[in-house]
Amino acid sequence: MKTTILKARWLLSMAPGSTVLNDHALVISGERIAAILPWAEAEAKYPDAERVELGEHVLIPGLINGHTHSAMSLLRGVADDVPLMDWLQNHIWPLEKKWVSDDWTYQGSMLSACEALRGGVTYLNDMYFFPAAMARAALDSGIRAGVSINVIDFPTGYAANAAEYISNGLAAYEQFKGEASLDWTSAPHAPYTVSDETFVALRELSEKYEMQMHCHIHETQFEVDSSVQQHGMRPLERLNKLGLLNEKMMAVHMVHLNEAEIAMLAAQKVHLVHNPNSNMKLASGVCPVTALEAAGVNVILGTDGAASNNRQDMFGEIRAAALLAKGSTCNSTTVSARTALEMATIRAAKAMGRAADLGSLEVGKLADVVAVSLDALECRPVYNPEAQLVYVAGREHVSDVWVGGRQVLKGRVLTTVDQAGLLDRVEHIVGQMKAGL
């Protein structure tokens, strides 16, 4: 079994109660973390190990993107500066109906996986059609993924009705369920696109296969108002009556909440996926993260898809989460640098049901490790490496990434993907789409 010693100036494990370690090494044996020791002790204990000298770097756990639509990287920039429902109904859905296919989804998902790995993200929690294509892209690129059995109650090029979405999703699940780097979620799109009957079917699917659930909820005021008009209740109340609000639910966006709903989310242990940059860009509003934190809700971070963000950049989301919370509450102490980092690591692993293996650098956990260089001029001086990661460093400072002990990024070069070939395929698809527009 191969043993590798990663030597860096700083190590931030993100384990509860941990602080920054100076001049420590992380030892990888096979796919897991074998030890975290001072440099000299690691060298003495593992004399035959391969050594990776990282210098003025900080080692952190692989970041977890709690919500994205990977294949939609092929729609990056196709419809900017328009409201959400206009963006969906008049731009995104018509394009998807015309173009989305298994290969289209695979190529877009590969592009997103590569963007993620180059940005220190080792896990994508995806929501999209053709889940088998996403599964193949994750395996081929070397990233971990939460792959969705995604359902929407109208026909697309992928399925004609809810039953077909579920049956197609389950077929993909059966094909790939043995892959250790893949998790699966039961994923109703949103309350305004999914019926009560379909929600119940997906709840039952989640229970039967022990899957987390993944759903857009309370993204806009229009969604909330429409639910009151159509169902006589707000979306969260409706989902609660259907039995969907529990520790399996990852509720995405959650911008428009009242005090009673925040208390209910905390009591029922719902995980909330905050998408600060997408919400700002689509003018959906600002998620009340400070109130959610005070209530004890597990808040994590996601980028949303590249069609709406347009960057799948978790360093950007971490910084935005910290700054937006402070600016919107006039409270500089809320969402500290540490809290923002937790939202993209250990808290996100908990939401995915993977806290035993992911989200922190601890002995016995899977070796999903990211090296961030702080030796660049724009990153100096370094007083507090933890805060430096949030307020100064960006994804461009990620130099090396390991997923399960396998190095997938080395000196900012992907080791698993022919990048030039991928870009050629992407440009061919986009050229066809542009000609169609």
pLDDT digits (tens, 9 = 90+) for 82-96: 888 888 889 988 988
In angstroms, the CA 212 to CA 433 distance is 34
pLDDT of residue 87: 85
pLDDT of residue 151: 98
- Asked whether the beta carbons of 103 and 134 are under 8 A apart, the reply is no
In angstroms, the CA 211 to CA 148 distance is 10
Classified as helix, coil or strand, 288 is coil
Task: Compute the C-alpha angle 283/331/265, nearest 5°.
Answer: 65
pLDDT of residue 69: 98
* Residue range 53-58: mean pLDDT, rounded: 97
Tokens of residue 138, six digits: 């994750």
From residue 6, how far is each of 51, 120, 224, 326, 330 by CA, in Å?
A: 6, 16, 49, 35, 41
pLDDT of residue 329: 98
pLDDT of residue 246: 98
Residue 437 has pLDDT above 80, yes or no: no
pLDDT digits (tens, 9 = 90+) for 322-349: 999 999 999 999 999 999 999 999 999 9
* Residue range 421-427: mean pLDDT, rounded: 97
* Residue range 251-272: mean pLDDT, rounded: 98
Please, what is the average pLDDT of the chain? 97
In angstroms, the CA 127 to CA 274 distance is 15
* Residue range 429-434: mean pLDDT, rounded: 93
pLDDT of residue 170: 98
From residue 180, how far is each of 4, 183, 296 by CA, in Å?
A: 22, 8, 31
Q: Of 355, 359, 362, give the one whose Cα is nearest residue 341.
A: 359
In the chain the domains, ranked by start, together with CATH numbers, are 3-62+364-414 (2.30.40.10), 63-351 (3.20.20.140)
Alpha helices in 179-251 (DSSP H): 196-209, 221-231, 235-241
pLDDT digits (tens, 9 = 90+) for 275-297: 999 999 999 999 999 999 999 99
User: How is residue 379 annotated by DSSP?
Assistant: G
* Residue range 185-214: mean pLDDT, rounded: 98
* Residue range 200-207: mean pLDDT, rounded: 98
* Residue range 305-317: mean pLDDT, rounded: 96
In angstroms, the CA 427 to CA 437 distance is 15
pLDDT of residue 85: 84
Q: 398 φ, ψ to 5°?
A: -75, 125
Residue 436 has pLDDT above 80, yes or no: no
* Residue range 114-136: mean pLDDT, rounded: 98
Least confident interval from 48-62, 70-84, 308-322, 393-407: 70-84
